[in-house]
Every structure is written in structure tokens, then in C-alpha cells.
Amino acid sequence: MTTLPEMRRFHMRRGDIIMILAVLAVAVTWLVWPKSLEPAAMAAVLVDNEEVATIDLSKDGLYPVQGSPGAGILEVKDGRIRMQPMERDICPAGICCRVTGWIESATQSIICLPNRIVVSLGQYDDLDFITS
């Protein structure tokens, strides 16, 4: 049987704690920072949780999207995208168009619950198709 004096006890010093915190800070920054500042190149459009289109944000234009009760129009301009305002009977609250507004970062998305439309941004380098 081993007694306490024979066992080596590990004592954390102030320098050890500073080193651990520094490594954790660098790791968290590395995981979060590039994604939040990286401009999105593509927008994936989902209706009822199925991808229906992929839009290149470098090409300005209007893109109609057929939602559940009605259709919406996505507008792309200067690398940003937004949902254009819809009639109140199609989207009563208008959160997706009036509140969300333009999005451009890979961490942002547009969600229209009444129409079951989700627009999420990202790089999408390995896509099989692109809808223009």
C-alpha cells in the first residue's frame, strides 16, 4: 500500500493556471473568430427542411421561393440577402423581412416560420449544384 508521503502530489502554480487560460482563450478564438467575420458566399434555401435552392451571393437579383402557404421573394444585392416584405395574410408578423433585414455573415440566417422557409449562409465549397 502506498502512503501519502510516497505519492507525488501535483500542485498547480499561478503560471500553470495562466498557461491553461491562455490556451483555452486561443482555442475558443480560433473556433469562433473566422466564422463570424468570414463573408458568406452562398445561401442555402430550405422549405419544410428540404433544400430547394442554393443562391450565389455574388450575383444580384430576385429569387422567388415557394413556401408552405405562400411565396416569398429573396433579394440579393452586394453580397447580402434579405426576404422582401410579404402580404400580412402570408406572413402576419413579418419578422423575416421587416425585423431581420439584410444578412451577410456566415453566422446569420433568415427564418420565416409561417412559410417554413429557412435561409442559411455559408461557404458551401463542396456543392453539387448552384441555382442562379
Query: Which residue, 42, 56, 94, is CA-closest to 72?
Result: 94
Q: For 64-105, how does the pLDDT look when each residue is reduced to its tens digit (9 = 90+)?
A: 999 877 788 999 999 899 999 888 888 888 888 788 889 888
At 96 the pLDDT is 82
The domains of the chain, with CATH numbers, are 42-122 (2.60.320.10)
- pTM (predicted TM-score): 0.64
